[in-house]
Amino acid sequence: MSTYDSLHRQCRTLESLFDTKLTAYARLASSIARHQDDIEATGSGERWKDLEIECEELLEKLQELNDQLSALSDDTDNPPSQTMLRAIQRHREVYQDYVREFRRTKTNVQAALDQANLLSGVRNDIDAYRSSAADSLLAERGHIDSSHRMTDDILAQAYETRAEFSRQGSTISGINARMTGVLTSLPGMNHLISMIRSRRRRDAIIVGCVVGVCLILLLMYAF
């Protein structure tokens, strides 16, 4: 029964190893459920697949060993003892329990991952919406700032135009003042011109009188 002893030891070794892997796999499911918002940071998204593959490979090996033990139990030429049959039956039951437990845990892990992915998708949508809203606000703020700058430029031009009008008004006021001064001084100039004309007429009369007297004297002297 050396074959049985070898298969029995291999089964116990694989069962112990599978129990350790399955426990880690179950803990991972609990970790994913608790940290649904940080799967990538904790590395759960990668470890669960590795553990799942390892558990499936161990179950396949256990199934092969149990099939070989079942074949030994059916050997009529060298039938196993009752102790061996009970051990073979126990290995078969443990294997079936492991299969059920693994399927249940696998379902829990997948459900936790689906929920985590759903929450991650919702969070990404929210972040995208916030980013889009922030971009819209920044763009709107840019438009407002541009409008403010345009308004400031228009006001600056208006102030400059008003200042130019003020300067032109001052110039026109000066011209008006000078024209008023000229107009104010015109009566005096008219009076001066009148005096000059009067003096010219007087001088002409005097010259005429002198010429007349001279002619009279010349005539008197001649005759």
51 Cβ neighbours under 8 A, 6+ residues apart: 21, 24, 25, 28
66 Cβ neighbours under 8 A, 6+ residues apart: 11, 88, 91, 92, 95
Q: Decide: helix, strand or coil at residue 37.
A: coil
Do residues 55 and 21 make contact, with C-beta atoms less than 8 angstroms apart? yes
Q: What is the pLDDT of residue 85?
A: 86
Fill in the DSSP letter of residue 147. H
User: If you average pLDDT over every residue of the chain, what do you get?
Assistant: 76
pLDDT digits (tens, 9 = 90+) for 7-33: 889 999 999 999 999 898 888 777 776
- Dump the DSSP string for 61-97: HHHHHHHHHHHHHT-SSSPPPHHHHHHHHHHHHHHHH
Query: What is the value of pTM for the model shown?
Result: 0.50
> Residue 37's pLDDT band (boundaries 50, 70, 90)?
very low
Q: Which domains does the chain have, with CATH numbers?
A: 2-139 (1.10.132)
pLDDT digits (tens, 9 = 90+) for 166-223: 777 677 676 666 655 654 555 555 566 677 778 878 877 887 787 777 777 777 776 6
Report residue 169 CA to chain centroid gap.
53
pLDDT digits (tens, 9 = 90+) for 48-76: 788 888 999 999 999 999 998 888 877 76
